[in-house]
Chains A and B, each alone.
Chain A
Amino acid sequence: QLSLFRLTMKRLHSTSHSSVDSKEMKKFQLLAQTWWDEEGEYSALHSMNDIRVPFIRDTLLNMSSNYHLGNPLSGIKILDVGCGGGLLSEPLGRLGASVTGIDPVEDNIRTADRHKSFDPVLAKRIQYKSSSLEEIVEECMETFDVIVASEVVEHVADLEMFIKCCSQVLKLEGSLFITTINKTQLSYVLGIVVAEKILGIVPEGTHEWEKFVPPEELERLLESNGFLVKTVNGMLYNPLSGSWSWMESTSINYAMHAVKCGAPRQPSPTGALSEMESEQSSATAGTTM
């Protein structure tokens, strides 16, 4: 753990192979103070906890037989990549997990550290680091039981490298949870035009449609890098109620759960086939878990 803290900002700028996009960093720097205002710029992320935390919690509970409902994630080591101000790290910490939160924007880490410092239980369970994913790979090979990359992959510069790094720091059979935005006409209209420009749900300029990731492509990348995709669920935000819900269609937002199985699989010829295959394997994998 001590070795993690030797890494500094200097290394961040010197690395050329980075999944961090410096333009993206600047966008978040400006909003670093507002993370914890539940009614502020990040209110949609706060309310997303209402579905993403139960999703992570229940998936992990289903995979294990030995847990206590009063401390459901106890003993689980989670890496929260792109943790921002710690909005997702804190609930996971409260549920008993040991969380390491990393984010390239130092101001975000400062905000996160300050916010957790008032709660002695969280202060012990969560460690924050200002860092990119690549920078911790060496020290953290196969360290984590779970990686959470929520609302992150639509901001990274090199998605394949990001996934490779996830695989390196994740234990075998470990879980990777991703939530992100699909690249469709609908997601452009709702996710950018409506969300940013009209309703102001998301600060303007946060997202670039070019960088949105369709679930088929994400699945392909995951499966060709040693992951088995178990679940894909569409998510829907209701701006009137300010709340999220699950939906069949992944055409706007979606969540994905994948498990590191080691051997990279041959990418399937069509997207539909791969989904069927992953359904079949999750049916059988359920018994082996």
Chain B
Amino acid sequence: TSAMMAGVCRRGMLASLGGRLRAGPRAPLRSVAAAAPLYDVVVSGGGMVGSAMAAVLGHDIHFHDKKIALLEAGPRKEYDRMPETYSNRVSSISPGSATLLSSFGAWDHVCSLRLKPFRRMQVWDACSEAMIVFEKDDLDDMGYIVENDVIMSALTKQLDAVADRVEVFYGSRAVGYTWPLPSHSCDTSPWVQIELADGRRLQTKLLIGADGHNSVVRKEAEIKNIEHRYDQSAVVATLHLSEATDNNVAWQRFLPAGPIALLPLSDTASSLVWSTSHEHASELLAMDEESFVDSINSAFWSNANHTDFIDTAGAMFRSALSLLKPSGTAVRQLPPSVAKVDPESRATFPLGVGHATEYVQHRVALIGDAAHRVHPLAGQGVNLGFGDIACLAHHLSAAAFNGSDLGSLKHLLKFETERQRHNVSLIAVIDGLKRLYSTRLAPLVLLRTWGLQATNALPPVKVRI
């Protein structure tokens, strides 16, 4: 009968999103709810961000006696050793994210599998000579290129380590959520009710939505999302370089159709992330391997998009800058050339931007892509998510140590304010950059050329980025 009830409820919920869901539980729910196990926190979505969230809480001393659940639709991902070939989905991990991952022991696992630190980032324009180089003065790493599978494997290991506190439900998808009424009408369950695809039910004091940019949690909570689909898809692939090199530089060139980036994986291999129009993306996927490699090399090396006007203007600005600030123009390094692509490693996915108007509600919090989605051009996506985790975990830990109700808006709002302040400007800048670099129009090219050159010459601005 509970499966039948679940079926009725599911149909009811899917039939009328909106008002119906907020109207509160139906009468028989009380007896069913009594049976459903109660968790302190349920994280919906077991990707990198969701798994890390569950792991961080599981390792938090103030959560020692709490019950946490992680819902993941896919299967368990763990490797003792990585396969020979590199995966085509990689992330650029910032030092801050690495710190978070090491705070609960996951970074050690990442290091023991594989990763590639990079020391330098060269970003330049296809329409001019303007270029900006990021590197740290001390010989510290700027960031790390890590395959997503490696991160997942490390997170899985650390979740296992706290299995007494964190219960992971693999192959489980949440299909419906029932929200509690405001707390002072206390005849109905004050917890969030979650219904899984297999009919099982859970209750929780706090639901954390980490289910990606098409977040079901966000939709069911009726949180408005400001989103925009770019006319771009990203093409990813694993590439092999013509010759072995130190390969500790991340390269990105802004082409009119979109940026192309080469992220180092090893001394001989790099990962490609090429954001371009949908048509071009399909072409790239369809063409034979040799043509594909030629396109990549041409994209990085060709000066076809230069115009004399821009070149002269750029050169003038550069000499002016070198008068004012002699150290402000860096030497342009040449990116490596590509020899071949891993067969089967080419793939494409559409790009967009999105930002939820609210990150939290009573007993609900959104993190990662569920809260904000950005263009990969700045390599920030997963780092924003890890930043969300650090902030939310900090507030939840303090709340737990104060004996507070974990789902209370009081501390959830503090998390929202902190993160929105941080994220909104960054997302706007990334989106702005994407638009600015999508054109060949001379005035805008000049603007960004000079802007890039100026930014390259000004240490304070560069450090902030």
Binding site for B on A (CB under 8 A): 33-38, 40, 47, 49-50, 53-54, 57, 68-72, 90-96, 111, 114-115, 118-120
Contacts and interface: CB of A to CB of B under 8 A. Distances in A.
Contacts of B402: 49-50, 53-54, 57, 91
Nearest to B183: A36
Contacts of A40: 184
Interface string B175-194: 00000001110110111000
A40 B404 CA distance: 18
Given A38-B409, A53-B402, A53-B403, A69 B184 contact: no
B309 interface: no
Interface stretch (B19-27, B48-56, B57-65, B439-447): B57-65
A69 B186 contact: no
Contacts of A111: 186
A94 B403 contact: yes
A33 B403 contact: no
A37 B183 contact: yes
A33 B186 CA distance: 9
B99 to A, nearest CB: 22
A35 B185 CA distance: 10
A118 B63 CA distance: 20
B301 interface: no
B170 interface: no
B38 A120 contact: yes
Nearest to B187: A114
Given A36-B186, A38-B409, A118-B189, A49 B404 contact: yes
Interface string B183-224: 110110111000000000000010000000000000000000
Given A37-B184, A94-B404, 14 more contacts: A36-B183, A38-B183, A47-B410, A53-B402, A53-B403, A53-B404, A69-B64, A69-B401, A72-B401, A91-B402, A95-B403, A96-B65, A111-B186, A118-B189
A70 B65 contact: yes
Q: What band does the interface of chain B fall in when counting residues whose beta carbon is under 8 Å from A? A: 20 to 34
A159 B401 CA distance: 33
A148 B64 CA distance: 26
B345 interface: no
A119 B38 contact: yes
Given A38-B410, A70-B63, A71-B65, A33 B401 contact: no
A118 B191 contact: yes
B404 A91 contact: yes
Given A36-B186, A69-B62, A70-B61, A93 B409 contact: no
Nearest to A69: B61
Nearest to B188: A118
B186 A115 contact: yes
B438 interface: no
A32 B152 CA distance: 50
A38 B186 contact: no
Contacts of A36: 183-184, 186
A33 B182 CA distance: 13
Which 6 pairs across A and B sit closest by C-beta, in order of nearness?
A: A70-B64, A91-B403, A37-B184, A94-B403, A95-B403, A69-B61
A34, A40, A70, A119, most chain B CB atoms within 10 A: A70
A267 B64 CA distance: 46
7 contacts: A38-B408, A70-B61, A91-B403, A92-B403, A96-B65, A114-B187, A119-B38
Contacts of B187: 114
Contacts of A54: 402
B190 to A, nearest CB: 5
Nearest to A74: B65
Contacts of A119: 38, 205
A96 B401 CA distance: 11
A50 B411 CA distance: 11
B144 to A, nearest CB: 32
B62 to A, nearest CB: 6
A111 B186 CA distance: 8
A120 B187 CA distance: 16
Nearest to A242: B410
A145 to B, nearest CB: 17
A118 B62 contact: no
Contacts of A50: 402
A91 B408 CA distance: 12
Contacts of B191: 118
A48 to B, nearest CB: 12
Given A38-B409, A94-B403, A33 B184 contact: yes
Contacts of B62: 69-70
B210 to A, nearest CB: 24
B183 A90 contact: no
Contacts of A68: 64
A21 B14 CA distance: 54
B401 A34 contact: no
Contacts of A93: 403
B64, B183, B205, most chain A CB atoms within 10 A: B183
Contact of B64 (A37, A53, A71): A71
Nearest to A243: B410
Given A70-B62, A71-B65, A114 B186 contact: yes
A90 B404 CA distance: 8
B185 to A, nearest CB: 9
A118 B64 CA distance: 21
A289 to B, nearest CB: 22
A239 B257 CA distance: 54
Contacts of A96: 65
B38, B64, B191, B402, most chain A CB atoms within 10 A: B402
Interface string B436-463: 0000000000000000000000000000
Contacts of A92: 403
Nearest to A97: B403
A34 B400 CA distance: 24
A40 B182 CA distance: 11
Nearest to A92: B403
Interface string B159-186: 0000000000000000000000011101
A34 B184 contact: yes
A140 B65 CA distance: 29
Nearest to B184: A37
B322 to A, nearest CB: 52
